[in-house]
Structure 1
Amino acid sequence: MPRPRAERLLALALAAGLPLGAAAQVGAMDDFTPPPALPAAPAVPVPAPASAPARQQAGADANLPVDVQADRIGGRPDVDVEAEGEVDVRRGDVRVQADRVRFRQDTQVLKAEGNVRMSQQGNRAKGTELEYKLDTSQGYVLEPEYFIAVTKGGGTAERVDFLGPNRARIIEGNYTSCGLDGEGAPAWLLTAERVDLDMDANEGIARGGVLRFMGVPILAAPRLSFPLSDERKSGWLPPFINIDNRNGLDVAVPYYWNIAPNRDATLTPTLSARRGPGLNSEYRYLEPTYQGRLNLNLLPNDRVAGETRYAFGFEHSGTAYDMGYRTAGVRVSDDNYWKDFTRGTSALMNARTNPYLTPRLLGAEAQVDRGLGDLGLAGGQWRSYARVLSWQVLQDTDPAARITPPYERLPQIGLQGGAPLGGGLRMELQTEINRFSRAPSADPTTIEATRVHALGSLSRPWTTSWGWLTPKASFNAASYSFDQALSDGRTSTSRLIPTLSVDTGLVFERPFSLFGSNLRQTLEPRLLYVRTPYHAQSTPLFDSSVKDFNITSLYAENTFTGVDRVSDANQITAGVTSRFLDAAGGNEVGRFSVAQRVLLSDQRITADGVPITQRLSDLLLQGASTITQHWNADGTLQYKHQTGQVSSWTAGARYSPGPYRTLALRYRYTRDSSDQIEVGWQWPVYGTVPGSLIKRDSSGGCGGGGTLYAVGRTLYSKKESRLVDGIGGFEYDAGCWIFRAIGERISTGTAQATTRLMLQLELVGLSRLGTNPLQLLRTTVPGYLMLRDDPSGATPPPASYE
């Protein structure tokens, strides 16, 4: 089960205040400069005591020797060691440096004074005095200044007490990831009167915690419990704030409940300035044979709508009795829910529960499937399945904006598979029984029916490194039983439509040089012949529609999706593709294709019932290329011979000269339909981004030195002269904190839109406060890179703490 991000206030911050023994801490800062090894005083190994079973329980390091290096070393053999001048003491991964050190072997107590420095597992601490019992991990350090490797942050305290292995107490401590060089106050600072840390229990308890930003207190808590690692722990998460034109100001404060290692829940009380209080919830579970989640967003009394509003989402999947099963769906209270709570609805949907990817069409399904093996056909693979699918359609009061819901399948039962036969033949078969029912909001005159269909094929592929040839015979058979009589009085009908096809192609290859680069160029001509006899088809369309015109549909045997329509065909599709491959690595740096269909006779089965008599289809050209290391471009063009005009074309380019710099432009045009321009960007507009990493303010103070980025994406319709959708705003990276201000506009109709403002303050190494726009930016802005990410995998350099 995915673990939530440990973004509780004080979480990794004061948790990291434990300078020793924090098992989750990784990474490092520039180390303290070690003293040079002095030949006059070589390292003196001090053996560990032979007794003390209790000490053995303190960890494996209890049996390791203690190495001491210093200018002067003295003491009593087997009793104590006294060292002065550039003292360096090590045991395992624990290292102590100081001006003076005394170590008692019998008690395992190490005392250090003067410029004390201590390090373990990448964490550092400096102080004036240290007393530490090596075998029990007990002791203290006075006036420490510490650095935490995992968060790249640190702070100071009056005192840190070590209470045993993986336990500590910080007295009057503070924490920040801004620079600690003493030049000005840190931009943000977290302070607490006392912090108790227990790594074994993965718990920290802070008392009197106050968070200040630019010297202003922005959050305070008398007592706060938080986790010390990425392990899950119950507790309050940072609040979310949302501002939009439909709901006004929304505030949400999530509470995470770690029920068990395989179960958790998040309860989020919400308060809307316009609509009133509500509660969002999510429950997740994970078992050896099943898993799932439940979501419920509830607004008991919407003051604007005057009713209860809700959104419910569920997903459950697993295996039982050699079968896989899954159920998922989304349901909301009313037709306007998607307009009022746009992101709330989207968060409950995914591509499985909502394959149409529109918040107005909400699916609910349940399915089971079972593998049947080869069914006696060696090398075969078969499976059976059953499914039910229903829809909730959110209709609009505007008749022009209403949508036609798809049919529900109650149920869909099928068998699918294939197997090799003798002589190189291969057979494929799919057969289904479907009960098509109209959705509740559909036209009552919509005809319901039961359909039984079978799709099968027999092919004989020949394949070599230089080409292929695949003749194939296939069929589409279907039988319908209608609940209402058709216009001709029929209540049932059946048909069987055969298809013959031959698909062949060649592959030529040659060395090629372009702008000094060694490439391999291919030339891949392809021909597809399809013969399907005409068969009258007048049944309603339950799952069929015309395929989009693209390179894939041009090489398809049927111009329709689904089963209800099979286009008659006597045609050849001809095309050629040329690819350019990097000679060394084999990466594709360019691809260009052209294809066209030639009708040898009229096509009578069409979407509008008007036969296609033109012998030549539209000519399709497409290409994509990595022009240089920083430039990518692609495009398609559809040309109609009959009119001598371009039917549609798209073109796009993206320029990415380095991290956090991307500009993308795409134009889409379809004659008499759409004309859209899409622009996306992430670009520094103030500050410096040298090389591959952002230049961050090393001081971390309240001064300048940060970088301001513009980020966004817009989709503009020239045909309608309006902005369809868009997001845009700024990110300011000051090194130890990042501020984001992002605006979003989502169209909910031809003249309606929802706009919202997202404000977020990220305190690097601590937490994020406000509304998180990062997921939206990653999925919407082409090439967007989060400011703490780097494509090379390198970690951005931390601010200096020395």
Structure 2
Amino acid sequence: MSKTWAAIVCVVLANANAVAASESTSQLCGQFLQPQPWQPLSSLPNNAIDIQADDVEMQGKESAEFSGNVVINTNKMSLFASSALIDKKQSLLNATGPLRYRDSFTDVKANALYADLNDNEISLLGADYQLTKQLGRGGAEKFSASGEKISLFNSSFTTCPSDKPFWALEADDIILSRQDGWGETHNAVLKILDTPVLYIPYFTFPIDDRRKSGLLMPKIAPSSRYGLEVVLPYYWNIAPNYDATLSPRYMSNQGVQLISEFRYLTEHHSGLLGIEYLEKDDSEPTLGERYLVHWNQQSYLSNNWRLSLDITNVSDDNYLTDLTSDYASETGTQLDRTGILSYLGEQWLADIKLQNFEVLGDHTESYAALPQISWRNRYAYNMLGLDFNLQGELSHFRNKTLLIEQATRFHIEPKASYKISDYAWSLLGEVSLLHTRYKQEGDLHNTQFAGDVTRTLPKVRVHTQLNFERDSMLFENGTQTLEPQMQYLYTPERDQRSIGLYDTTKTQDDFYGLFREQRFSGVDRIAQANQITLGATTRLFDDKNLERFNFSAGQIIYLEDDVKPSAQSLDGQTNYNALFAAETMIHWHRRWYFSAGIQYDADAKELIESHTTLDYKGDNNKLVQLNHRYASDVSGYEIDQAGMFASLPINDNWQVVASYHRDLTTSRSVEVFAGIRYESCCWAVQITGKRQIETDLNRTINQNDAQFDSSIGISFVLKGLGGKSNYDIEQVLQQGLFNYRRPYFLNN
């Protein structure tokens, strides 16, 4: 070889066949191995060319022809060919095949290659190509690569790795942009199982995970309520920190609804604005326009100030039950509209809240808080061994449709506490002074309410707990704990009938609720108390400190008849005097979970509420849950329901999901859901059917008069054409009225 060529040709035999280890592929595509990622020769200098061949023939001083097992390497590509001609002066490379071309993005087999090494422009004829950083392959009459763009002429594209792909695009032109992460086609035909199904003059699709404007996969779901339902979403990638989704929704029984969602993210703000609009509902011609507006925003204003907004508004009470929405539950009876400005200081924390509720259906109207200012000290002040805390609020409530049209409430609560906390025991003693003043306005003549009310009362609380621990005989090197606790609570009697109820309701009566300081939320009612609460929790841990079992039980003992809940009930709310509550969890195997809870009135010998859940969670989305719920009084009805969730994989591709809930009181089903799903490496289809009770907030429906809605949904995804599977079994099982709850979160 002449000295002229030696300056640009570096023969490095040791690393000529070095390649990087291939990355792991997904379980579904594991049988189709991706080509190993290409890497340049590690010892190759910049702008140098390494050439190996059985024979070389010089053609003057500026060009050479290589033949026989030609291997060419640069910092940007590798080429294996039968012969190659290099023109040094013009930096041109011609090669004939069969040949193989590789770079950081593609692996191509072709018949011929033409390359401009200066501009890094390469053309291959009769190419079969495969993308190496993500799924994507096909053939092309001409394959051209220039910088970050690949152009394919008379070509095909698919993400299916098999030799006989389920789907493929065949087009006059396909352009793949590595810089943008998207491809586009001109005059394309979509083939499924090698059968043409759709002509597409122009089409864009992703080749990586970056976002781009375009149509998303449609949803087709015939049902008895909507008729034929078709949703065709369009995604608009406005900017890196702004995007929107526009989803026309056709319902043959009701009309065409436009669903839109705008998301934004700035240095100090993040949020979402959703608008749903139906100009005319064919099934409800008297209602006129129907709409929903939802706005959620979180703002970081400074190191000390935060802002939170959550606002939802609908055109009519039955909007959610008739049309459903992702922004609110169709079983909810009120919509929250809240704005909170929070201050986080070194010494004080404060919230300024504006809140009102849109009440849906025939339910009690709520008061708007305009505003509610609350504050508390961040850290307790310590003096003489005591911790001193102060909290308070100033609130103004308004509702012109109620008897008390508006009210201003000022509440302040200083507290002194003494706390001892040790490994084996703890003691907490608290003394609080609750002072509240009300100014109430409205037509209060001949009513129990007064215009000006002042209420002051003390509160004493003492809580203590012991912690016992011993070795467990059930688990080798395991541990059992016993945690008895006792609380004494005293609050004297005050006549509070002259005070309206603005943000007060009864709290949950579970085991943990037994040890609360207050039976009511808010401060409009301070429950009289002279009571002792006794309770205990025992836990079992295995040798890896994993909790396998716990059981908690407790009961309130009232020391006077006047302090029993039945003597202090809120309007329309049932109270229980001798409340016994217990909860348990058993996790005897890593796949099995059992949870149960009970609330019982020992005086009336009456079961109040109970729940029981048994879960099995296996591999590959295998899930079975059996559950039972009982409540003696929910809006005047007894609820006694049993249910089941199941997800059963047939194999790696097929999955069956189902849920069933039955009302044992009325002896009928209340919800049935079933679905089957097939998912392969390059496509997926899911068919679901659902039957559930319809909710109508415009009228009161007796349990025996309930109506049902039945629907069938079809979801079809071609992976690599803008659709992703992202299969989440828990999300699928939350599509009904009865949501699946994960183990350990069964009461949420």
- Tell me if both proteins adopt one fold, taking TM over 0.5 as the criterion: yes
Give me the whole-angstrom Cα distance separating, in 2, the residues matched to 1:716 and 1:603: 41
Provide the residue aligned with 2:13 in structure 1.
none
Task: Determine if contact 1:195/1:207 at 8 Å carries over to the other structure.
Answer: yes
Provide the residue aligned with 2:351 in structure 1.
385
> Is the alpha carbon distance of 1:476 and 1:116 closer, same or farther for their aligned partners in structure 2, counting shifts above 3 Å?
farther
SS of match in other structure, 1:623 = strand
Provide structure 2 residue ranges, at least 5 long, that are not aligned to the other structure.
1-21, 26-31, 696-702, 743-748
Amino acid at match of 2:169: L
Q: 2:337 aligns with which of 364, 379, 396?
A: 364
Superposed counterparts of 1:131-150, under 5 Å? 131-150=114-133
More moved, 135-144 vs 113-122:
113-122
Provide the residue aligned with 2:149 in structure 1.
167
Provide the residue aligned with 1:504 in structure 2.
464
Deviation per CA, 1:231-284, whole angstroms, max 9, x where unpaired? 333333333334332322233333333333333333333433233334222233
Provide the residue aligned with 1:628 in structure 2.
589
Deviation per CA, 1:278-304, whole angstroms, max 9, x where unpaired? 422223333323343322212223333
Q: Does 1:619 align with 2:598?
A: no
- Cα distance, 1:531 vs structure 2: 1.9
- Cα distance, 1:319 vs structure 2: 4.4
Provide the residue aligned with 1:155 in structure 2.
138
Give me the whole-angstrom Cα distance separating, in 1, the residues matched to 2:431 and 2:42: 84
Q: 2:391 aligns with which of 430, 453, 468?
A: 430
Give me the whole-angstrom Cα distance separating, in 2, the residues matched to 1:766 and 1:552: 51
Q: 1:661 aligns with which of 613, 618, 622?
A: 622
- Cα distance, 1:363 vs structure 2: 2.1
SS of match in other structure, 2:507 = coil
Q: 1:722 aligns with which of 636, 644, 668?
A: 668
Superposed counterparts of 1:230-379, under 5 Å? 230-306=209-285, 307-320=288-301, 323-342=305-324, 344=325, 347-349=326-328, 358-374=331-347
Amino acid at match of 1:675: D
> Is the alpha carbon distance of 1:233 and 1:528 closer, same or farther for their aligned partners in structure 2, counting shifts above 3 Å?
same
- Cα distance, 1:207 vs structure 2: 0.5
- Cα distance, 1:664 vs structure 2: 0.8
- Cα distance, 1:94 vs structure 2: 3.3
Q: 1:94 aligns with which of 56, 77, 81?
A: 77
- Cα distance, 1:527 vs structure 2: 1.7
**Larger RCO (CA under 8 A, 6+ residues apart):** 1
Provide the residue aligned with 1:473 in structure 2.
431
Provide the residue aligned with 1:464 in structure 2.
422
- Cα distance, 1:496 vs structure 2: 1.4
Give me the whole-angstrom Cα distance separating, in 2, the residues matched to 1:771 and 1:168: 29
- Cα distance, 1:541 vs structure 2: 2.4
Amino acid at match of 1:30: L
Q: Does 1:756 align with 2:714?
A: no
Provide the residue aligned with 1:698 in structure 2.
none
Superposed counterparts of 1:480-495, under 5 Å? 480-484=438-442, 485=444, 487-488=447-448, 490-495=450-455
Q: 1:732 aligns with which of 670, 678, 683?
A: 678
Give me the whole-angstrom Cα distance separating, in 2, the residues matched to 1:73 and 1:617: 99
Provide the residue aligned with 1:741 in structure 2.
687
Provide the residue aligned with 2:698 in structure 1.
none
Give me the whole-angstrom Cα distance separating, in 1, the residues matched to 2:168 and 2:396: 64
Task: Determine if contact 2:170/2:190 at 8 Å carries over to the other structure.
Answer: yes
Task: Determine if contact 1:243/1:756 at 8 Å carries over to the other structure.
Answer: yes
Task: Determine if contact 2:269/2:298 at 8 Å carries over to the other structure.
Answer: yes
Q: Does 1:194 align with 2:173?
A: yes
Amino acid at match of 2:522: G
Give me the whole-angstrom Cα distance separating, in 1, the residues matched to 2:439 and 2:37: 86
> Is the alpha carbon distance of 1:89 and 1:519 closer, same or farther for their aligned partners in structure 2, counting shifts above 3 Å?
farther
Task: Determine if contact 2:218/2:715 at 8 Å carries over to the other structure.
Answer: no
What is the percentage of aligned positions where both structures have the same residue?
26
Task: Determine if contact 1:66/1:89 at 8 Å carries over to the other structure.
Answer: yes
Provide the residue aligned with 1:589 in structure 2.
548
Deviation per CA, 1:21-56, whole angstroms, max 9, x where unpaired? xxxx98766365999xxxxxxx999966xxxxxxxx
Q: Does 1:212 align with 2:191?
A: yes
Deviation per CA, 1:324-382, whole angstroms, max 9, x where unpaired? 2233311122222112211x3xx234xxxx9xx854412222232223432xxxxxxx1
Task: Determine if contact 2:207/2:720 at 8 Å carries over to the other structure.
Answer: no
> Is the alpha carbon distance of 1:144 and 1:754 closer, same or farther for their aligned partners in structure 2, counting shifts above 3 Å?
same
Task: Determine if contact 2:242/2:262 at 8 Å carries over to the other structure.
Answer: yes
More moved, 82-91 vs 132-141:
82-91
- Cα distance, 1:499 vs structure 2: 1.3
Give me the whole-angstrom Cα distance separating, in 2, the residues matched to 1:433 and 1:480: 10
Provide the residue aligned with 1:416 in structure 2.
376
Provide the residue aligned with 2:366 in structure 1.
406
Give me the whole-angstrom Cα distance separating, in 2, the residues matched to 1:45 and 1:327: 55
SS of match in other structure, 1:419 = coil
- Cα distance, 1:657 vs structure 2: 2.4
> Is the alpha carbon distance of 1:505 and 1:297 closer, same or farther for their aligned partners in structure 2, counting shifts above 3 Å?
same
Q: What's the Cα RMSD here?
A: 3.6
Provide the residue aligned with 1:22 in structure 2.
none
Task: Determine if contact 1:661/1:682 at 8 Å carries over to the other structure.
Answer: yes
Provide the residue aligned with 2:645 in structure 1.
680
Give me the whole-angstrom Cα distance separating, in 2, the residues matched to 1:256 and 1:669: 44
Give me the whole-angstrom Cα distance separating, in 2, the residues matched to 1:625 and 1:102: 75
SS of match in other structure, 1:144 = strand
Amino acid at match of 2:481: T
Give me the whole-angstrom Cα distance separating, in 2, the residues matched to 1:167 and 1:262: 25
Amino acid at match of 1:386: I
Amino acid at match of 2:334: L
Give me the whole-angstrom Cα distance separating, in 1, the residues matched to 2:681 and 2:34: 20
> Is the alpha carbon distance of 1:589 and 1:290 closer, same or farther for their aligned partners in structure 2, counting shifts above 3 Å?
same
Give me the whole-angstrom Cα distance separating, in 2, the residues matched to 1:739 and 1:334: 36
Provide the residue aligned with 1:522 in structure 2.
481
More moved, 557-566 vs 146-155:
146-155
- Cα distance, 1:630 vs structure 2: 1.4
SS of match in other structure, 1:571 = strand
Task: Determine if contact 2:217/2:232 at 8 Å carries over to the other structure.
Answer: yes
Give me the whole-angstrom Cα distance separating, in 1, the residues matched to 2:460 and 2:61: 94
- Cα distance, 1:777 vs structure 2: 0.8
- Cα distance, 1:599 vs structure 2: 2.3
More moved, 80-89 vs 25-34:
25-34
SS of match in other structure, 2:293 = strand
Task: Determine if contact 1:96/1:117 at 8 Å carries over to the other structure.
Answer: yes
More moved, 453-462 vs 218-227:
218-227
Give me the whole-angstrom Cα distance separating, in 2, the residues matched to 1:83 and 1:507: 84
Q: Does 1:711 align with 2:657?
A: yes
Provide the residue aligned with 1:794 in structure 2.
none
Give me the whole-angstrom Cα distance separating, in 2, the residues matched to 1:33 and 1:320: 48
Task: Determine if contact 1:759/1:770 at 8 Å carries over to the other structure.
Answer: no
SS of match in other structure, 1:338 = helix
- Cα distance, 1:682 vs structure 2: 0.7
